[in-house]
Structure 1
Amino acid sequence: MTYNYLETLIHPYKKSLNKTESIIAKHMIDLGNEVVNKTLANLSEETGLSEATIFKFVKKIGFSGFQNFKISVASNFRTFEERSNEMIVFSDISESDSPFVIAQKLVNTNIELLENLIATLDEELLESAIELINSSETINFFGQGASSIVAYDSYHKFLRTKFHCQYAQDYHIQLTYATKLGPDDCAILFSHSGNTKETIEVGRILLENGVKIIVLTGDPSSDLVKLSSAAFVVLSKESAFRSETLTSRLVYLTIIDIIYTAIMYDDEKQNRKALLDIRHALSVTRYRDDLP
């Protein structure tokens, strides 16, 4: 299956598009890489819609302007076209596939997801999220179901920083703990659908208490995004037997890895001390070479 960057880019916004925006989205997806050769006037003539309407659509899907949008499209399609002919991006697996072919498809899908991430990652958003964390005393992680697993992995990683961190799996405990947080705290909420009732309820309590909220989700129009101070929208495509939460998990963890690494180097001295203290504490769990 041929990879279409525009289809992947627009996919998370489809639920929130009105009839006019849907026309623009379909036309751009049909054009594919050819959209980089178009002007607003061209697209206006081809769709029968005003240039202002098309410009607003481009803004809605996360770009500051039409030129910025075309640069992103051009760089992404060029990245994939420069691959060898043998490199094919797969979305689904069939029953006739051998284990090795399945391995190829899964790896190629993960490569696609990560390349989409680096192409669409907003530098200002990333810096804003890092600033929210750096201006906080604690970092708190929330999620339900599969998102809870990602939240726990993130919590385990950030324990190595200088910050006090918290994670609770039980929903009632999450609600209770949320009432204890305030303006000096930061919360990172995970929900791929963006519509998980429990996570939204936790988010509302956090917002009422003035907590800094960072959201990682797959739905840019969700209520959860509206509660956040900074929101990362993860682009992914559905597969017949793998839910979006599973296919995009790698992207969520990579975003956390990026933030974690930047945080660690932002105050290297304090974070190095925290890391050494943790390693020292954990040393009692390992066999010593000098034991008989």
Structure 2
Amino acid sequence: MTAKTNANANRTQLHTGEVAARVQAGRAQLVPSALKIANLIVEAPSWVLTSSVSEVADRAGTSESSVIRACQGLGFKGFHDLKLALASDLATQNHGGDELERAEGIGPNTPRTEIPRRVLRNSAAVLQDAIHMLDLDAYQGALDALSAARRVLVVGNGTSAAPARDCAYRLTTLGLLVHAPSDSFGQHLIARSLDNRDAVVAVSHTGATKETLVAVEAAHNGGAQVIAVTSHLRSPLSAHTHHVLVAGGPELGFRQEAMTSRLAHLAVLDALFVGIAVSRPKRSRDSLDVMADVTAEHSL
């Protein structure tokens, strides 16, 4: 490859879309050789799209089998499946998708009047990426589990505590019997009492928060259906989860990755709320009417 060709290959980076979202979600679990391939896909997507698996392996300094394993590790069936998704993402990015391009980073020298635009554009891109990442089979399984559950335990700690509390409140308004202790001992205690008639919703950006894992493992061992809302395809949490719903976002300067991911997690939890509501409309309407009455009693 000539220097000119190489420069052209790297001119357009992948900012949003299914492939970028999968790389972001799977990056932390990739081995070094697979990480080289993932970086190449994002940094030179047009070149990867027109290259063979052997050419990609050669440029990444790895083997053809490593390229295929890297694609599978990112959630694709193989190299061909990756290229199909890459073609779609590039078409969107090059024809009208630029408004969702991730904004530049934010630092001490960023003009204050520029910060809202960069933050909001990045937030929009995070939500757009969530559309590509969400496993619809896992989503349907989560709806079935929650709709049939006798009791639901909602767990979230650290930066995931607020989305978990919001989820618990909203599921309660639909008539579900929901537990959401704020302390880890309470979470563990209730988790130990769950069985195959119950369900757990665990919200965790990293999928590696010890307090959340302890409760989830206990509930899973008791037979409860476990639903995870997380930012990573593979994590310690996924080992004890029946339905994994992945959505998240990157860091943006002073705005940490967990903060941007919280937006995507809230959107996924909202999709669960709406899905349950429409799957059993009468019960949901009756419960929401009760909530409206209670809200009116607490309004001036």
* TM-score range normalised by the length of the shorter chain: 0.7 to 0.9
**3-state SS in 1 of match to 2:110:** coil
The residue aligned with 1:90 is 103
Distance 1:273 1:225 in 2: 35
Whether contact under 8 Å (2:155, 2:180) holds in the other structure is: yes
Match of 2:194, as an amino acid?
L
SS at match of 1:146: helix
Secondary structure of 1:159 counterpart:
helix
Percent of aligned positions with the same letter in both sequences? 21
Report deviation, 1:88.
5.2
Among 152, 156, 175, which residue is 2:169 paired with? 156
Deviations 1:180-202 (A, max 9, x none): 21111110111212211111111
- Checking the alignment, whether the CA contact within 8 Å between 2:250 and 2:256 is kept in structure 1 is no
Matches within 5 A, 1:46-195: 46-47=59-60, 49-83=62-96, 89-195=102-208
Return the match for 1:269 from 268, 273, 282. Answer: 282
Greater mean deviation of Cα atoms: 190-199 or 44-53: 44-53
The 3-state SS of whatever aligns with 1:140 is strand
Q: Paired residue for 1:15, among 8, 25, 28?
A: 28
* Superposed displacement of residue 50, structure 1: 4.9
The answer as to 2:263 corresponding to 1:250 is: yes
Give per-residue Cα distances to partners, 1:155-191, cap 9 Å, x unaligned: 1221221321121111111111112211111101112
Kindly report the root-mean-square deviation, in angstroms, between the aligned alpha carbons of the 2 structures.
Answer: 2.5
CA distance in 1, matches of 2:237, 2:137: 20
Q: Residues 276 and 222 of structure 1: is their aligned pair in 2 closer, same or farther, counting only changes over 3 Å?
A: same
- Does the 8 Å contact 2:247/2:261 carry over to 1? yes
TM-score (norm 2): 0.85
- Secondary structure, in 3 states, of the residue corresponding to 1:216? strand
Give the 3 Å change call, closer, same or farther, for CA 268–220 of structure 1 in structure 2.
Answer: same
- Is 1:281–2:294 an aligned residue pair? yes
Q: Which amino acid aligns with 2:144?
A: E
Q: How many Å separate the matches in 1 of 2:207 and 2:100? A: 33
User: Distance in 2 between the 1:100 and 1:19 partners?
Assistant: 39
Q: CA deviation at 1:41?
A: 4.9
How far does residue 45 in structure 1 lie from its aligned partner after superposition? 5.4
| In structure 2, C-alpha distance between the alignment counterparts of 1:276 and 1:254, rounded to whole Å | 23
How far apart in 2 are the matches of 1:242 and 1:53? 33
8 Å CA contact retained: 1:139, 1:166: yes
CA distance in 1, matches of 2:87, 2:288: 42
Q: 1:281 to 1:8 in 2, by over 3 A?
A: closer
From the superposition, tell whether residues 219 and 281 of structure 1 become closer, same or farther in structure 2 (CA, over 3 Å): same
Q: What is the Cα deviation at residue 154 of structure 1?
A: 0.9
Structure 2 unaligned residues grouped into runs of 5+: 1-11
For the residues of structure 2 that align with 1:87 and 1:63, how far apart are their CA atoms?
23
Gaps of 5+ in 1: 288-292
Q: CA deviation at 1:24?
A: 2.3
TM-score, length basis structure 1:
0.88
C-alpha contact (below 8 Å) 1:137/1:164 kept by paired residues = yes
- Using the TM superposition, give the Cα deviation of residue 120 of structure 1 relative to its aligned residue in structure 2, in angstroms: 2.1
1:30 corresponds to which letter in structure 2?
A: E
Shift of 1:203: 1.2
Residue in 2 that maps onto 1:290:
none
Matched-pair contact (CA < 8 Å) for 1:3–1:89: no
Which residue is equivalent to 2:4? none
Structure 1's 2 and 189: CA in aligned 2 closer, same or farther, altered over 3 A? same
Amino acid in the other structure paired with 1:231: V
Q: Which amino acid aligns with 1:228?
A: T
Shift of 1:250: 0.5
Distance across 2 between alignment mates of 1:86 and 1:259:
28
Q: 1:53 & 1:86 partners in 2: Cα distance?
A: 34
Query: How many residues of Structure 1 are paired with residues of Structure 2 in the alignment?
Result: 287
Question: For the structure 1 residues 33 and 127, does the alpha-carbon distance in structure 2 shift closer, same or farther, using more than 3 Å as the test?
Answer: farther
- Give the aligned partner of residue 4 of structure 1: 15
Specify the code of the residue in structure 2 equivalent to 1:187: V
